[in-house]
Structure 1
């Protein structure tokens, strides 16, 4: 799974190789402890223009489908199993039309050691951003008027798959990592072979996982109120 992540940079520093056309005005500040229901930046290709416009937008973590009565469902939909997307009504439509990339600096995972959960920080060894496959949705708040700028809420979920390699010793699930080429294909809203794109990304993820480093970090990360660069520092033996 992926229940916490880090975004140590902001704006175009996150997504240079993805060639974003438009950056939103309300992008969140860097954070070292992003948790579900918090706001993070995602990349999406808007099909409202021809060709599609690639945007970096602020979104709430936890997918809220358009048919939801309220936002509560999003708190439980921060991850989506890549192998089950087509079987889940909550994710099926987004898989076809609304795919996103979530750029992060790294993420946290908890390893169970003799009944004790030990947090680890997992990140690219070269310090470059890590791209995670996601889905997004727009939800209309019917309690707000047509002239209220907050009537539409953008939300997202992060896809996961079985862990492999050294990451498998930490947790049995890991995010679905994307290299820039697969990220481009994943974002393309005009593709008619989504399953092929998804399968290619799943097959390529192990090679990316092998390039990641991890180290144990302080249990302070378990408290969402803690948010500082010290959270990603290795704990002293």
Structure 2
């Protein structure tokens, strides 16, 4: 699973290789302890115009489908198992039409050792962005007026798969990582073979996972109120 992550950069510094066309006006600041329900910058290909426009937009972590009665449902939908998407009404429509990339600097995972949970920070060894596959949805708040700009909520979930290699010794699930080429294919709203694209990303993820480093960090990361660069610094086990 992925329940906390880091975004140490903002704007174009975060997604240069994805060639974003438009950056939103309200992008969140960098964060060293992103938790579900927080606002996060995601990449999506909008099809409002004749040709898709790649956008970097602020979105709430935790998918809220259009049919939901309120946003509370999103608190339970911050991850989605990639092998179960077609069978879940929560995610099925987004898989077909609304795919996203979540750019991060790395993420936290907790390893259980002798009954104690030890937090690890997992990240690219070279400091490059770590892209995760996601799905997004728009939800309309019917209690707000048509001219209220806050009536629409953009939200997202992060896909996961079985962990492999060293990461499997930390936790049995990991985010579905994407290299830039698979990220382009994943974002393409015109594709008619989504499962093929997803399976290709799943197959490629282990090689990308092998390039990641990890180290133990402070248990302070467990408190969402803590948010500073010190959280990703290594500590003794």
TM-score tier, shorter chain, comes to over 0.9
TM-score by length of 1: 0.99
In structure 2, the partner of 1:216 is 216
> Structure 2: where are the runs of 5+ without partners?
none
Which residue of structure 1 aligns with residue 7 of structure 2? 7
Q: How many Å separate the matches in 2 of 1:102 and 1:223?
A: 22
1:157 maps to 2:157:
yes
Question: Is 1:17 the counterpart of 2:17 in the alignment?
Answer: yes
State the SS of the aligned residue for 1:236. coil
Q: Work out the CA distance in 2 between the residues paired with 1:101 and 1:30.
A: 17
Once residues 114 and 93 of structure 1 are traced to their aligned partners in structure 2, the CA distance between those partners, rounded to angstroms, is: 42
Q: Compute the RMSD of aligned alpha carbons.
A: 0.5
TM-aligned CA deviation for residue 48 of structure 1 = 1.1
TM superposition shift of 1:47: 1.0
Matches within 5 A, 1:46-57: 46-57=46-57
How far apart, in 1, do the equivalents of 2:6 and 2:49 lie? 32
Counting only pairs closer than 5 Å after superposition, residues 1-237 of structure 1 correspond to structure 2 as 1-236=1-236
- Which digits, 9 at most, give the CA deviation of each residue in 1:125-165, with x for residues without a partner? 00000000000000000010001010000000000000001
Deviation at 1:51, TM superposition (A): 1.6
Superposition misfits of 4+ residues, deviation over 4 angstroms: none
Give the SS at the match of 2:149.
coil
TM-score, L = length of structure 2: 0.99
